[in-house]
């Protein structure tokens, strides 16, 4: 899917970046700048992560003035979004790579609170695009925010965003240096175990890990026991230190 003929030229820079190999921090910032210009929105944010957790502090927001707004969304509302089971694992199969989460949430109260919070920052429209690879890994997310309504942002930018996501998937753009280096640090663990280990190391409970990844709590517990055994640790503090220092010894 491509943008309309009249808007295609504005997206060329975004598409070129989707296929480029750049240092992570440069790639995020350049893409955020290009996206804001292409979509004509108030701000664009690009988040990437090593294991499907796009709300880590590996982000770029353009212009930078909107950093506090996005930090507030992440800290105040993301845990609640995950608690009601509406993270990426819920949204992707139902809405695809591009959607307006506030407009389709099953929690009207949460939607109203988020709208009020964003409204204080001058934002009425909020559109999310998942970035990943052809195997279905979710390694990042693009967020566009604007004073215009979400449906209008989707109308003028949705096709361009979908094209970007498809290009990035084929190019493997979001399989970042962070992801590759993390895999090299803990080769003893499978991809799923690394994903769970990093969440446990952040202090999340088994219940919260399960909600975030869209799997059963019992499955998390089984993986956790295997992770502790393979890395020779007994607590989450020890697990965090071992991940930081480079896996099992």
Rounded mean pLDDT of 55-71? 83
CATH topology of domain 186-245: Arc Repressor Mutant, subunit A (1.10.10)
**CATH classification (class only), 5-178:** alpha beta
Please give the pLDDT value at position 245: 65
- Quick check: 219 pLDDT over 70? yes
Of the candidates 70, 50, 74, 73, the one whose C-alpha atom is nearest the C-alpha of residue 60 is 70
Please give the pLDDT value at position 91: 86
**Domain edges within the chain:** 5-178, 186-245
| Confidence class for position 137, pLDDT limits 50, 70, 90 | low
Window from 23-32, 61-70, 98-107, 112-121 with minimum mean pLDDT: 23-32
- Quick check: 145 pLDDT over 60? yes
Q: What share of the chain is helix, strand, coil (3-state, %, to 5)?
A: 60, 10, 30
Q: How many CA atoms lie within 13 A of 235 on its CB side?
A: 3
Query: Is the bond leading into 63 cis (omega within 30 degrees of zero)?
Result: yes
Higher-confidence position of 144 and 96? 144
């Amino acid at each position: 899917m491509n943008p309309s003929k009249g808007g295609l030229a504005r997206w060329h820079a975004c598409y070129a970046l989707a296929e480029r190999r750049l240092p992570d921090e440069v790639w995020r910032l350049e893409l955020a700048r290009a996206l804001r210009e292409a979509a004509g929105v108030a701000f664009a944010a690009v988040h990437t992560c090593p294991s499907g957790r796009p709300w880590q502090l590996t982000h770029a927001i353009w212009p930078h003035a909107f950093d506090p707004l996005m930090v507030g969304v992440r800290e105040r509302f993301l845990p609640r979004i995950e608690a009601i089971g509406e993270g990426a694992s819920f949204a992707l199969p139902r809405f695809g790579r591009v959607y307006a989460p506030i407009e389709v949430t099953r929690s009207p109260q949460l939607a109203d609170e988020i709208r009020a919070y964003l409204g204080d920052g001058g934002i009425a429209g909020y559109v999310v695009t998942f970035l990943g690879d052809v195997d279905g890994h979710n390694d990042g997310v693009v967020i566009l925010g604007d004073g215009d309504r979400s449906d209008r942002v989707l109308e003028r930018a949705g096709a361009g965003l979908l094209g970007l996501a498809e290009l990035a998937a084929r190019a493997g753009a979001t399989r970042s240096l962070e992801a590759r280096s993390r895999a090299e640090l803990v080769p003893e663990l499978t991809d799923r175990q690394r994903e769970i280990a990093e969440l446990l190391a952040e202090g999340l409970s088994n219940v919260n890990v399960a909600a975030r990844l869209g799997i059963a709590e019992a499955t998390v517990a089984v993986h956790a026991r295997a992770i502790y055994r393979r890395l020779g640790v007994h607590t989450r503090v020890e697990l965090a230190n071992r991940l930081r220092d480079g896996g099992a010894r």
